[in-house]
A and B are shown apart, each in its own frame.
Chain A
Amino acid sequence: MKIDVKNVSKKFGDVTILRNINISFTNGKIYGLIGRNGSGKSVFLKMLCGFYEPTTGEILFDGVNVIKQKGFPPSMRALIEKPNFIPDLTGYENLKLLASIQNTIGDKEILQALMDVNLMDDKDKKYSKYSLGMKQKLGIAQALMERPEIVILDEPFNGVEEKTARDLRKKLKEYSREDKIVILASHIKEDIEALADEVYLFDDGSIKKQVHKKRKH
């Protein structure tokens, strides 16, 4: 799988949010997008997911503009904004319900995802009782449980305790080694640089510089 972002710009009315973005994403790598709040990272991620349409340019998946054809990219999962689950259901029930939409996984994969994010002890607790960090972890679990080819996580470590953040970084590295594409966005440079193979800096809607960093083991 290869994602090509070609000359993509995005305007809302007269306001230009993104200017002439050109990036490619390939399998087996973790990509980090850093930038302050309001620099256009979330807008860019939403365009990758097909939620927003580029004003100019195009986003191709293996050379095809899939979003225009089918409406959403193949085999992609994301956590972009605040996770939205049903408060009266448990963490496990929420994931089970989401998994029932496409019906490609069973209980084993759901429980594995909960284990990966250290939520096994709280899986039978109602979502309304979850802390902010637990809600964030469940959001990450829903993005990983179906083992999609592309995973997009916006500010994934917000509110997550250090031990889980460390475990998650390890899991994401293992995940990308399964020939997946992982795209992370954060305003915290250290989170990205500890994990990403390639780092892009967003500044006022443009990519200001591209920094290649090796993964720290």
Chain B
Amino acid sequence: MKYIFLHDIHYMIQKQRKFLLVYLVILLSYFYFHIFRGVRSVDVVYYDTLAVRFDWISSGWLEKLVFLFMVTFYIYITFQLFYKDLKFGLDNIYLRMTSSQWLVSKLITIYFISALLLMIAHIFFNLLSLLENISVPFHILLYCKNVLYIFCVESTSLLFVFIGRKYLWLMPILICSFLGIFLVLPTNIWKMSFLVLFMLFMLINLFLIYMYKSVHVRLIESC
């Protein structure tokens, strides 16, 4: 676990820092786009920037873009961290631990890094809002729901890749399902039940661990 964790942290700092910077710059630009327009509502400058109030039907095109960016960014980070060990360093890791041990360590690291990035974003925009004299209460529950939601997005995208590897013919259905779940259904995180999100997260991860045993060789070969 320690090896995977340190390796991934170093990887993020060394190889992905440009993308981390782009992530913050885009969110910052969106934040100040509203500030310069004179919009000082907490809902817009804080909640919309972090896409925690997104609703596919009522949100504008800019909010939709920010939401898509947030989801894509975390899926990108997930796949970068997941595939890097399968592409480089198989002999270091896979002869010292089982595939299940590796997957569990990897998922914990991905979730930790995602939670950390979200924490930085929440605190960053909290501070910016205070600088702009916009009073924003830091909602720990909102942050936790945001984190769980992102975890569900990340684990679902991995699960669909695993299923697609095993049953290639299912891929078009899986892609449509993924788009349906996360882009069509309302995603106002305020309205989501924490318990439902948590149970969904646990269920998806159980399936992930179950599926991985039967597809890990195919995933390695595809790299």
Interface residues of A (CB under 8 A from B): 12, 46, 49-53, 70-73, 76-89, 97-98, 100-102, 142-143
Q: How far is the CA of A149 from the CA of B140 in the complex (A)?
A: 52
Q: How far is the CA of A80 from the CA of B93 in the complex (A)?
A: 12
Which residues of A lie under 8 Å from residue B216 when comparing CB positions?
71
Closest to B7 in A: A86
Contact flag A72-B3 (CB < 8 Å), given A52-B220, A86-B10: no
Contact flag A70-B10 (CB < 8 Å), given A78-B91, A98-B3: no
Closest to B221 in A: A52
25 A–B contacts from the bound complex (CB under 8 Å)? A46-B90, A49-B91, A50-B217, A51-B94, A51-B217, A51-B220, A53-B217, A71-B100, A72-B94, A72-B98, A78-B95, A81-B90, A81-B91, A87-B14, A89-B10, A97-B2, A97-B3, A97-B6, A98-B3, A100-B3, A101-B3, A101-B96, A101-B97, A102-B96, A143-B91
Other A-B pairs, 8, CB within 8 Å; known A12-B221, A51-B221, A86-B6: A49-B95, A51-B217, A52-B217, A70-B98, A71-B216, A77-B95, A87-B10, A143-B91
Contact flag A84-B3 (CB < 8 Å), given A51-B220, A71-B98: no
Across the interface, A49 reaches (CB within 8 A) one of B2, B88, B94, B213, namely B94
Q: Which of B95, B96, B221 has the most CB of A within 10 A?
A: B95
Which residues of B lie under 8 Å from residue A52 when comparing CB positions?
217, 220-221
Q: How far is the CA of A82 from the CA of B90 in the complex (A)?
A: 10
Interfacial residues of chain B within 34-92, with CB under 8 A of chain A in the complex: 88-92
Which residues of B lie under 8 Å from residue A100 when comparing CB positions?
2-3
Chain A: minimal CB distance from B4 (Å): 9
B91 and A80: CB pair below 8 A? yes
Which residues of A lie under 8 Å from residue B7 when comparing CB positions?
86
Interface residues of B (CB under 8 A from A): 2-3, 6-7, 10, 14, 88-100, 213, 216-217, 220-221
Q: How far is the CA of A72 from the CA of B97 in the complex (A)?
A: 8
Which residues of A lie under 8 Å from residue B88 when comparing CB positions?
81-82, 84
Which residues of A lie under 8 Å from residue B6 when comparing CB positions?
86, 97
B10 and A72: CB pair below 8 A? no
Which residues of B lie under 8 Å from residue A98 when comparing CB positions?
3, 92, 96
B97 and A51: CB pair below 8 A? no
Closest to B96 in A: A101
Which residues of A lie under 8 Å from residue B90 when comparing CB positions?
46, 49, 51, 80-81
Closest to A84 in B: B89
Q: How far is the CA of A97 from the CA of B2 in the complex (A)?
A: 8
Which residues of A lie under 8 Å from residue B221 when comparing CB positions?
12, 51-53
Which residues of B lie under 8 Å from residue A50 when comparing CB positions?
94, 217
Q: How far is the CA of A178 from the CA of B94 in the complex (A)?
A: 25
Q: How far is the CA of A151 from the CA of B213 in the complex (A)?
A: 25
Which residues of B lie under 8 Å from residue A88 when comparing CB positions?
10, 14
Which residues of A lie under 8 Å from residue B95 when comparing CB positions?
49, 72-73, 76-78
Which residues of B lie under 8 Å from residue A71 when comparing CB positions?
98-100, 213, 216
